[in-house]
């Protein structure tokens, strides 16, 4: 189990990769972001996307799935997140893309009011198969302090 005390600014974690499929792009868009350029080749061709593009929220959800899978493989005593800062969708994500994500610890702060808790900020960078950055954000994560023996 990884606790607050085990984290150091600069530590980088590779979250792995996910392949973006047309079926998932369409399914997500139909349910959560039904804008025409996420649903129709013809409509997407009329935009700067040029072809169907994944919703940014879908991209964020795929990265969340990678984050959770990493947490199963290498458990952390995390307790969720109060939010994200500076979420940026930098380039479109298309069916057929392979996304790779990594996080880097920026800083950590012990809780002033709860001695058994701390938090850390981590920058996430998501790239496509060509190494082009497609998304970036900073997450704030709550994490337990190591229990006293």
Per-domain residue ranges of the chain: 4-144
Task: Compute the distance between CA of residue 23 and CA of residue 107 in angstroms, rounded to an integer.
Answer: 38
**Please, what CATH class does the domain formed by 4-144 belong to?**
alpha beta
Strand segments, DSSP code E, in the chain are 12-19, 83-89, 98-110, 117-127, 133-144
- pLDDT of 65 reads 97
Find out whether 119 and 111 touch, Cβ atoms under 8 Å.
yes
Residue 75, CA distances (Å) to 12, 83, 102 in order:
15, 20, 16
pLDDT in tens, 15-54: 999 999 999 999 999 999 999 999 999 999 999 999 999 9
| Global confidence as pTM | 0.93
Place of tokens 């701390």: 118
Average pLDDT, rounded, for the chain: 96
If phi > 0 it is left, if psi is from -120 to 50 it is alpha, else beta; for residue 30 that is alpha
Q: Report pLDDT for 101.
A: 98
Residue 72 has pLDDT above 90, yes or no: no
Nearest alpha carbon to residue 26 among 1, 51, 48, 63:
51
């Amino acid at each position: 189990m990884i606790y607050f005390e085990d984290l150091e600014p600069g530590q980088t974690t590779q979250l792995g990769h996910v392949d973006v499929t047309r079926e998932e792009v369409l399914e997500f868009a139909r349910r959560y972001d039904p804008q025409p350029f996420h649903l129709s080749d013809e409509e997407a061709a009329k935009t700067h996307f040029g072809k169907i593009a994944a919703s940014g929220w879908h991209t964020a959800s795929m990265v969340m799935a990678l984050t959770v899978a990493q947490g199963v493989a290498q458990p952390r005593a995390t307790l969720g997140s109060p939010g994200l800062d500076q979420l940026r969708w930098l380039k479109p994500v298309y069916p057929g893309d392979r996304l790779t994500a990594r996080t880097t610890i920026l800083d950590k702060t012990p809780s002033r009011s709860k001695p058994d808790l701390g938090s850390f900020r981590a920058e996430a960078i998501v790239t496509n198969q060509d190494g082009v950055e497609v998304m970036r954000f900073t997450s704030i994560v709550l994490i337990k302090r190591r229990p006293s023996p």
